[in-house]
Amino acid sequence: MEEQQQDTQLRKLKMSELSKLIAVSIIVYSCIIVLHGLIIYFVDSDYNLFISDQLVFYNRGTGILKGDIPYRDFYTQAAPLSPYLWAPIVLISMIFTGQFPAEYLLYSTYLDSSSMIFSSYIFRVFFSICLILSAVLLFKILDAKKNKRSFWIALCYSINPYFLYLVTFWGSDECIVPLLIILPIYLLEKEKYYLATLSLVVGAGLKYFPILLLPLFLIYNKNIRKGLFQVFFALLGITATYLPFYFVDSEAFKAQFNYPLDNARNQGISAFFDLFTKSADVSISNYVFLGVTIFFVSLFSLILLLDKKKWTFEDTMILLMPFLLFFPKIQFSYFVIIFPFIFITLFKKGNIGLVSGIFLLSTVSGGIAADYILTYDQTNLFTYISAWIITVILYVSMISLLILKYLESKASSDFKDKEEE
Protein backbone atom coordinates (compact mmCIF):
# COMPACT_ATOMS: atom_id res chain seq x y z
CA MET A 1 0.00 0.00 0.00
CA GLU A 2 2.82 2.37 0.91
CA GLU A 3 4.64 1.56 -2.33
CA GLN A 4 1.50 2.41 -4.33
CA GLN A 5 1.16 5.73 -2.51
CA GLN A 6 4.83 6.52 -3.16
CA ASP A 7 4.43 5.68 -6.85
CA THR A 8 1.33 7.89 -7.04
CA GLN A 9 3.14 10.77 -5.35
CA LEU A 10 6.13 10.32 -7.65
CA ARG A 11 3.89 10.39 -10.73
CA LYS A 12 2.19 13.55 -9.48
CA LEU A 13 5.60 15.12 -8.92
CA LYS A 14 6.74 14.26 -12.42
CA MET A 15 3.48 15.53 -13.92
CA SER A 16 3.99 18.74 -11.95
CA GLU A 17 7.54 19.08 -13.27
CA LEU A 18 6.35 18.43 -16.81
CA SER A 19 3.60 21.05 -16.43
CA LYS A 20 6.15 23.55 -15.11
CA LEU A 21 8.47 22.78 -18.03
CA ILE A 22 5.70 23.42 -20.57
CA ALA A 23 4.32 26.49 -18.77
CA VAL A 24 7.69 28.21 -18.32
CA SER A 25 8.68 27.42 -21.92
CA ILE A 26 5.43 28.82 -23.32
CA ILE A 27 5.76 32.00 -21.24
CA VAL A 28 9.41 32.57 -22.26
CA TYR A 29 8.80 31.93 -25.96
CA SER A 30 5.67 34.10 -25.95
CA CYS A 31 7.57 36.97 -24.33
CA ILE A 32 10.53 36.71 -26.69
CA ILE A 33 8.31 36.64 -29.81
CA VAL A 34 6.34 39.67 -28.56
CA LEU A 35 9.64 41.42 -27.78
CA HIS A 36 10.86 40.69 -31.31
CA GLY A 37 7.67 42.17 -32.73
CA LEU A 38 8.00 45.32 -30.62
CA ILE A 39 11.63 45.82 -31.67
CA ILE A 40 10.66 45.38 -35.32
CA TYR A 41 7.74 47.80 -35.01
CA PHE A 42 9.33 50.57 -32.94
CA VAL A 43 13.08 50.31 -33.61
CA ASP A 44 13.73 48.48 -36.86
CA SER A 45 11.38 50.33 -39.20
CA ASP A 46 13.29 49.04 -42.26
CA TYR A 47 12.86 45.45 -41.06
CA ASN A 48 16.60 44.71 -41.15
CA LEU A 49 16.03 42.17 -38.38
CA PHE A 50 13.49 40.33 -40.50
CA ILE A 51 15.49 37.38 -41.80
CA SER A 52 14.85 36.59 -45.47
CA ASP A 53 14.45 32.84 -44.77
CA GLN A 54 10.85 33.65 -43.89
CA LEU A 55 10.31 34.71 -47.50
CA VAL A 56 11.80 31.40 -48.70
CA PHE A 57 9.36 29.39 -46.56
CA TYR A 58 6.47 31.60 -47.63
CA ASN A 59 7.20 31.17 -51.34
CA ARG A 60 7.59 27.41 -50.98
CA GLY A 61 4.21 27.22 -49.24
CA THR A 62 2.69 29.50 -51.87
CA GLY A 63 3.99 27.19 -54.60
CA ILE A 64 2.18 24.22 -53.08
CA LEU A 65 -1.05 26.22 -52.69
CA LYS A 66 -0.80 27.18 -56.38
CA GLY A 67 -0.52 23.50 -57.31
CA ASP A 68 3.12 23.77 -58.34
CA ILE A 69 5.55 20.88 -57.84
CA PRO A 70 8.85 21.34 -55.98
CA TYR A 71 12.02 21.22 -58.15
CA ARG A 72 10.02 21.36 -61.41
CA ASP A 73 7.97 24.55 -60.95
CA PHE A 74 9.97 26.25 -58.21
CA TYR A 75 13.42 25.64 -56.83
CA THR A 76 13.76 24.53 -53.24
CA GLN A 77 17.12 23.77 -51.66
CA ALA A 78 15.48 21.57 -49.07
CA ALA A 79 13.99 18.12 -48.49
CA PRO A 80 10.95 17.48 -50.74
CA LEU A 81 8.20 17.40 -48.10
CA SER A 82 9.13 20.67 -46.40
CA PRO A 83 7.12 22.93 -48.77
CA TYR A 84 4.02 20.87 -47.89
CA LEU A 85 4.65 21.63 -44.21
CA TRP A 86 4.82 25.37 -44.90
CA ALA A 87 1.69 25.47 -47.07
CA PRO A 88 -0.88 25.33 -44.19
CA ILE A 89 0.96 28.13 -42.36
CA VAL A 90 0.90 30.31 -45.47
CA LEU A 91 -2.78 29.50 -46.03
CA ILE A 92 -3.66 30.54 -42.47
CA SER A 93 -1.87 33.87 -42.93
CA MET A 94 -3.63 34.47 -46.26
CA ILE A 95 -7.06 33.76 -44.75
CA PHE A 96 -6.36 35.97 -41.73
CA THR A 97 -5.13 38.93 -43.79
CA GLY A 98 -7.43 38.43 -46.79
CA GLN A 99 -4.43 38.52 -49.16
CA PHE A 100 -4.08 35.70 -51.69
CA PRO A 101 -1.09 36.59 -53.90
CA ALA A 102 -0.95 34.57 -57.11
CA GLU A 103 2.74 35.17 -57.72
CA TYR A 104 5.86 34.50 -55.68
CA LEU A 105 7.10 37.42 -53.59
CA LEU A 106 10.44 39.11 -54.33
CA TYR A 107 13.11 40.27 -51.89
CA SER A 108 12.54 43.84 -52.98
CA THR A 109 8.82 43.87 -52.23
CA TYR A 110 8.04 41.09 -49.75
CA LEU A 111 7.72 43.45 -46.77
CA ASP A 112 4.73 45.07 -48.51
CA SER A 113 2.78 41.84 -48.09
CA SER A 114 0.77 41.69 -44.85
CA SER A 115 0.18 37.95 -45.32
CA MET A 116 3.97 37.46 -45.50
CA ILE A 117 4.53 39.48 -42.31
CA PHE A 118 1.78 37.63 -40.48
CA SER A 119 2.99 34.21 -41.66
CA SER A 120 6.50 34.96 -40.40
CA TYR A 121 5.12 35.06 -36.85
CA ILE A 122 3.04 31.93 -37.36
CA PHE A 123 6.29 30.27 -38.44
CA ARG A 124 7.93 31.48 -35.22
CA VAL A 125 5.08 30.14 -33.09
CA PHE A 126 5.28 26.81 -34.91
CA PHE A 127 9.06 26.63 -34.41
CA SER A 128 8.57 27.38 -30.71
CA ILE A 129 6.07 24.53 -30.39
CA CYS A 130 8.53 22.13 -32.06
CA LEU A 131 11.33 23.10 -29.66
CA ILE A 132 9.07 22.81 -26.59
CA LEU A 133 7.85 19.39 -27.74
CA SER A 134 11.46 18.24 -28.18
CA ALA A 135 12.15 19.39 -24.59
CA VAL A 136 9.11 17.43 -23.35
CA LEU A 137 10.34 14.26 -25.09
CA LEU A 138 13.85 14.79 -23.73
CA PHE A 139 12.39 15.13 -20.22
CA LYS A 140 10.37 11.93 -20.66
CA ILE A 141 13.39 9.95 -21.84
CA LEU A 142 15.59 11.20 -19.00
CA ASP A 143 12.84 10.70 -16.44
CA ALA A 144 12.32 7.10 -17.57
CA LYS A 145 16.03 6.56 -16.96
CA LYS A 146 15.70 7.97 -13.41
CA ASN A 147 17.88 10.97 -14.16
CA LYS A 148 17.54 13.22 -11.10
CA ARG A 149 18.28 16.33 -13.16
CA SER A 150 15.79 15.59 -15.95
CA PHE A 151 13.69 18.69 -15.22
CA TRP A 152 16.60 21.13 -15.14
CA ILE A 153 18.27 19.62 -18.20
CA ALA A 154 15.04 19.82 -20.20
CA LEU A 155 14.21 23.33 -18.97
CA CYS A 156 17.67 24.78 -19.69
CA TYR A 157 17.62 23.05 -23.06
CA SER A 158 14.16 24.39 -23.91
CA ILE A 159 14.74 28.06 -23.10
CA ASN A 160 18.44 28.43 -23.84
CA PRO A 161 19.34 31.76 -25.52
CA TYR A 162 20.52 29.98 -28.67
CA PHE A 163 17.03 28.58 -29.35
CA LEU A 164 15.37 31.89 -28.50
CA TYR A 165 17.59 33.62 -31.05
CA LEU A 166 16.91 30.97 -33.71
CA VAL A 167 13.16 31.36 -33.23
CA THR A 168 13.05 35.16 -33.27
CA PHE A 169 15.85 37.05 -35.00
CA TRP A 170 16.91 34.15 -37.20
CA GLY A 171 13.56 32.42 -37.76
CA SER A 172 15.37 29.28 -38.84
CA ASP A 173 13.57 26.11 -39.91
CA GLU A 174 16.36 24.21 -38.13
CA CYS A 175 14.11 24.72 -35.08
CA ILE A 176 12.13 21.66 -36.19
CA VAL A 177 15.25 19.45 -36.32
CA PRO A 178 15.57 18.63 -32.57
CA LEU A 179 12.01 17.26 -32.61
CA LEU A 180 12.75 15.20 -35.73
CA ILE A 181 15.83 13.79 -33.98
CA ILE A 182 14.32 13.18 -30.52
CA LEU A 183 10.97 11.71 -31.64
CA PRO A 184 12.38 8.53 -33.31
CA ILE A 185 14.69 7.99 -30.32
CA TYR A 186 11.77 8.37 -27.90
CA LEU A 187 9.72 5.83 -29.86
CA LEU A 188 12.68 3.42 -30.02
CA GLU A 189 13.12 3.77 -26.26
CA LYS A 190 9.44 2.78 -25.95
CA GLU A 191 10.07 -0.15 -28.36
CA LYS A 192 7.54 1.23 -30.83
CA TYR A 193 9.67 0.36 -33.83
CA TYR A 194 7.12 0.86 -36.61
CA LEU A 195 6.11 4.29 -35.34
CA ALA A 196 9.81 5.14 -35.01
CA THR A 197 10.34 4.09 -38.62
CA LEU A 198 7.40 6.19 -39.78
CA SER A 199 8.65 9.23 -37.85
CA LEU A 200 12.10 8.79 -39.38
CA VAL A 201 10.71 8.58 -42.93
CA VAL A 202 8.54 11.67 -42.48
CA GLY A 203 11.38 13.51 -40.70
CA ALA A 204 13.82 12.72 -43.50
CA GLY A 205 11.26 14.07 -45.96
CA LEU A 206 11.19 17.39 -44.07
CA LYS A 207 14.92 17.71 -43.28
CA TYR A 208 17.67 15.33 -44.38
CA PHE A 209 19.39 15.07 -40.97
CA PRO A 210 17.26 12.22 -39.49
CA ILE A 211 18.72 9.80 -42.07
CA LEU A 212 21.79 9.69 -39.81
CA LEU A 213 19.67 7.87 -37.20
CA LEU A 214 19.21 4.73 -39.33
CA PRO A 215 21.85 2.70 -37.39
CA LEU A 216 19.77 3.13 -34.23
CA PHE A 217 17.29 0.54 -35.50
CA LEU A 218 20.07 -2.06 -35.42
CA ILE A 219 21.28 -0.91 -32.01
CA TYR A 220 17.86 -0.81 -30.32
CA ASN A 221 16.52 -4.06 -31.77
CA LYS A 222 17.50 -7.14 -29.80
CA ASN A 223 16.97 -9.25 -32.90
CA ILE A 224 19.40 -8.28 -35.67
CA ARG A 225 17.02 -9.55 -38.38
CA LYS A 226 14.21 -7.33 -37.14
CA GLY A 227 16.67 -4.45 -36.98
CA LEU A 228 17.73 -5.01 -40.59
CA PHE A 229 14.09 -5.21 -41.63
CA GLN A 230 13.39 -1.86 -39.93
CA VAL A 231 16.38 -0.29 -41.71
CA PHE A 232 15.18 -1.71 -45.04
CA PHE A 233 11.62 -0.52 -44.37
CA ALA A 234 12.89 2.97 -43.49
CA LEU A 235 15.10 3.15 -46.59
CA LEU A 236 12.18 1.98 -48.71
CA GLY A 237 9.98 4.71 -47.26
CA ILE A 238 12.62 7.40 -47.74
CA THR A 239 13.21 6.25 -51.34
CA ALA A 240 9.46 6.27 -52.05
CA THR A 241 9.34 9.83 -50.68
CA TYR A 242 12.27 11.13 -52.74
CA LEU A 243 11.90 9.31 -56.06
CA PRO A 244 8.78 11.07 -57.40
CA PHE A 245 10.50 14.44 -56.97
CA TYR A 246 13.73 13.11 -58.46
CA PHE A 247 11.90 11.91 -61.59
CA VAL A 248 10.09 15.24 -61.92
CA ASP A 249 13.42 16.99 -62.50
CA SER A 250 16.52 15.00 -61.61
CA GLU A 251 18.95 17.84 -62.33
CA ALA A 252 17.11 20.33 -60.13
CA PHE A 253 16.81 17.72 -57.38
CA LYS A 254 20.55 16.95 -57.44
CA ALA A 255 21.48 20.62 -57.65
CA GLN A 256 20.43 21.20 -54.03
CA PHE A 257 23.39 19.06 -52.90
CA ASN A 258 25.97 21.10 -54.80
CA TYR A 259 27.37 23.49 -52.23
CA PRO A 260 29.17 26.33 -54.05
CA LEU A 261 32.44 26.76 -52.19
CA ASP A 262 32.80 30.35 -53.34
CA ASN A 263 29.69 31.26 -51.33
CA ALA A 264 30.69 32.84 -48.03
CA ARG A 265 28.02 30.88 -46.17
CA ASN A 266 29.60 27.58 -47.21
CA GLN A 267 32.53 27.49 -44.88
CA GLY A 268 33.16 24.00 -43.55
CA ILE A 269 36.27 21.85 -43.95
CA SER A 270 35.63 21.47 -47.70
CA ALA A 271 35.60 25.26 -48.13
CA PHE A 272 38.83 25.65 -46.15
CA PHE A 273 40.42 22.94 -48.29
CA ASP A 274 39.32 24.88 -51.36
CA LEU A 275 40.74 28.09 -49.85
CA PHE A 276 44.21 26.58 -49.54
CA THR A 277 44.29 24.49 -52.71
CA LYS A 278 42.34 26.90 -54.95
CA SER A 279 40.40 23.93 -56.22
CA ALA A 280 37.46 24.77 -58.47
CA ASP A 281 35.88 21.32 -58.71
CA VAL A 282 32.85 21.62 -56.43
CA SER A 283 31.50 18.16 -57.27
CA ILE A 284 34.67 16.45 -56.01
CA SER A 285 34.43 18.29 -52.68
CA ASN A 286 30.78 17.27 -52.32
CA TYR A 287 31.53 13.61 -53.02
CA VAL A 288 34.46 13.67 -50.59
CA PHE A 289 32.20 15.11 -47.87
CA LEU A 290 29.55 12.49 -48.58
CA GLY A 291 32.03 9.60 -48.68
CA VAL A 292 33.90 10.62 -45.53
CA THR A 293 30.66 11.19 -43.60
CA ILE A 294 29.23 7.79 -44.60
CA PHE A 295 32.52 6.11 -43.68
CA PHE A 296 32.73 7.61 -40.19
CA VAL A 297 29.01 7.20 -39.42
CA SER A 298 29.30 3.54 -40.50
CA LEU A 299 32.46 3.05 -38.43
CA PHE A 300 30.94 4.57 -35.28
CA SER A 301 27.73 2.61 -35.88
CA LEU A 302 29.72 -0.63 -36.01
CA ILE A 303 31.53 0.22 -32.76
CA LEU A 304 28.26 1.07 -31.02
CA LEU A 305 26.55 -2.02 -32.43
CA LEU A 306 29.28 -4.34 -31.16
CA ASP A 307 28.92 -2.80 -27.69
CA LYS A 308 25.17 -2.14 -27.78
CA LYS A 309 24.55 -3.82 -24.42
CA LYS A 310 26.06 -0.70 -22.84
CA TRP A 311 24.18 1.64 -25.17
CA THR A 312 22.76 4.89 -23.84
CA PHE A 313 20.68 7.18 -26.02
CA GLU A 314 23.14 10.08 -25.49
CA ASP A 315 25.61 8.10 -27.60
CA THR A 316 23.55 9.20 -30.61
CA MET A 317 25.77 12.27 -30.56
CA ILE A 318 28.60 10.01 -31.76
CA LEU A 319 26.60 9.23 -34.91
CA LEU A 320 25.62 12.83 -35.59
CA MET A 321 28.96 14.52 -34.96
CA PRO A 322 30.79 13.32 -38.13
CA PHE A 323 28.20 15.11 -40.23
CA LEU A 324 28.92 18.39 -38.46
CA LEU A 325 32.67 17.83 -38.68
CA PHE A 326 32.76 17.32 -42.43
CA PHE A 327 29.73 19.20 -43.69
CA PRO A 328 30.77 21.98 -46.12
CA LYS A 329 29.08 24.55 -43.88
CA ILE A 330 29.63 25.73 -40.33
CA GLN A 331 26.11 27.12 -40.50
CA PHE A 332 25.64 27.52 -36.78
CA SER A 333 21.92 26.72 -36.88
CA TYR A 334 22.76 23.14 -38.00
CA PHE A 335 24.28 22.35 -34.61
CA VAL A 336 20.78 21.98 -33.18
CA ILE A 337 20.88 18.32 -34.24
CA ILE A 338 23.07 17.48 -31.24
CA PHE A 339 21.79 20.08 -28.74
CA PRO A 340 19.61 17.61 -26.78
CA PHE A 341 22.70 15.50 -26.08
CA ILE A 342 25.00 18.45 -25.46
CA PHE A 343 22.75 19.70 -22.68
CA ILE A 344 22.92 16.31 -20.96
CA THR A 345 26.73 16.47 -20.94
CA LEU A 346 26.61 20.09 -19.73
CA PHE A 347 25.10 18.87 -16.47
CA LYS A 348 27.89 16.36 -15.91
CA LYS A 349 30.94 17.08 -13.81
CA GLY A 350 34.48 17.03 -15.10
CA ASN A 351 36.07 17.75 -18.44
CA ILE A 352 33.10 16.68 -20.56
CA GLY A 353 30.86 19.37 -19.01
CA LEU A 354 33.55 22.01 -19.51
CA VAL A 355 34.19 21.03 -23.15
CA SER A 356 30.43 21.00 -23.81
CA GLY A 357 30.23 24.57 -22.53
CA ILE A 358 33.13 25.64 -24.77
CA PHE A 359 31.49 23.87 -27.68
CA LEU A 360 28.19 25.70 -27.12
CA LEU A 361 29.91 29.07 -27.06
CA SER A 362 32.00 28.32 -30.15
CA THR A 363 28.98 27.18 -32.20
CA VAL A 364 27.32 30.56 -31.76
CA SER A 365 30.28 32.44 -33.24
CA GLY A 366 31.92 29.73 -35.35
CA GLY A 367 29.87 30.23 -38.52
CA ILE A 368 30.31 33.99 -38.44
CA ALA A 369 34.05 33.61 -37.82
CA ALA A 370 34.44 31.20 -40.76
CA ASP A 371 32.46 33.57 -42.98
CA TYR A 372 34.94 36.32 -42.17
CA ILE A 373 37.95 34.12 -42.93
CA LEU A 374 36.68 33.26 -46.41
CA THR A 375 35.66 36.83 -47.22
CA TYR A 376 38.70 38.53 -45.67
CA ASP A 377 39.52 41.78 -47.49
CA GLN A 378 43.03 42.35 -46.07
CA THR A 379 41.86 45.11 -43.72
CA ASN A 380 41.46 44.00 -40.10
CA LEU A 381 44.22 41.55 -39.21
CA PHE A 382 43.17 41.29 -35.54
CA THR A 383 39.62 40.20 -36.47
CA TYR A 384 41.03 37.77 -39.03
CA ILE A 385 43.29 36.10 -36.43
CA SER A 386 40.44 36.06 -33.89
CA ALA A 387 38.16 34.39 -36.45
CA TRP A 388 40.75 31.66 -37.01
CA ILE A 389 41.06 31.08 -33.25
CA ILE A 390 37.28 30.76 -32.85
CA THR A 391 37.01 28.38 -35.80
CA VAL A 392 39.86 26.20 -34.51
CA ILE A 393 38.27 26.11 -31.04
CA LEU A 394 35.02 24.98 -32.66
CA TYR A 395 36.63 22.01 -34.41
CA VAL A 396 38.89 21.10 -31.48
CA SER A 397 35.96 21.15 -29.05
CA MET A 398 33.90 18.92 -31.37
CA ILE A 399 36.68 16.35 -31.66
CA SER A 400 37.42 16.56 -27.93
CA LEU A 401 33.76 16.01 -27.13
CA LEU A 402 33.72 12.87 -29.26
CA ILE A 403 36.82 11.50 -27.52
CA LEU A 404 35.56 12.36 -24.03
CA LYS A 405 32.14 10.85 -24.77
CA TYR A 406 33.82 7.61 -25.83
CA LEU A 407 36.09 7.55 -22.76
CA GLU A 408 33.13 8.27 -20.48
CA SER A 409 31.07 5.47 -22.05
CA LYS A 410 34.04 3.11 -21.76
CA ALA A 411 34.62 3.98 -18.10
CA SER A 412 30.95 3.55 -17.17
CA SER A 413 30.73 0.20 -19.00
CA ASP A 414 33.88 -1.07 -17.24
CA PHE A 415 32.36 -0.02 -13.90
CA LYS A 416 29.17 -1.94 -14.68
CA ASP A 417 31.20 -5.02 -15.61
CA LYS A 418 33.01 -4.90 -12.27
CA GLU A 419 29.71 -4.53 -10.40
CA GLU A 420 28.30 -7.57 -12.21
CA GLU A 421 31.39 -9.61 -11.29
Per-residue pLDDT reduced to its tens digit, 30-44: 999 999 888 888 887
What residues contact 339, with CB distance under 8 A and at least 6 apart? 157, 160, 162, 163, 178
**Residue 312 region, left (φ>0) first, then alpha (ψ -120 to 50), else beta?**
beta
Instruction: Determine the pLDDT at residue 5.
Output: 58
| Rounded CA separation 408/116 (Å) | 48
Is 226 part of a structural domain of the chain? no
- How far is residue 21's CA from residue 29's CA, in Å, rounded to a whole number? 12
- What is the predicted pLDDT for the residue at 80? 93
Does 369 map to a domain?
A: yes
DSSP state for residue 212 in the 8-state scheme: G
First to last CA, the chain: 35
What pLDDT is attached to residue 278?
63
Residue 360 covered by a domain: yes
Task: Supply the DSSP symbol for 170.
Answer: I
Asked whether 113 and 99 are in contact (CB, 8 A), the reply is: yes
On whether residue 332 sits in a domain, the answer given is yes
Task: Give every residue of the chain whose pLDDT is below 70, as ranges.
Answer: 1-14, 45-46, 48-49, 52, 259-267, 270-271, 274-275, 277-286, 328, 330, 410-421
User: In 3D, which of 129, 122, 131, 108 has the Cα closest to residue 58?
Assistant: 122
- Residue 296 counted as domain residue: yes
Measured CA to CA, the distance from residue 184 to residue 210 in angstroms comes to 9
Task: Tell me which amino acid residue 59 is.
Answer: N
Residue pLDDT, tens place only, 227-285: 899 999 999 999 999 999 999 999 888 888 776 555 545 567 766 776 676 655 555 66
Q: Return the ∠ at Cα 343 (arms to 339 and 347), rounded to 5°.
A: 170
- Three-state DSSP at 331 gives coil
Beta-bridge partner residues of 352: none
Is 163 part of a structural domain of the chain? no
* Neighbouring C-beta atoms of residue 135, cutoff 10 Å: 28
DSSP states of 149-169: THHHHHHHHHT-HHHHHIIII
- Domains identified in the chain, total number: 1
Do the domain assignments include residue 362? Answer: yes
Are 90 and 251 within 8 A, CB to CB? no
Domain interval for residue 269: 257-421
Residue 390 lies in a domain: yes
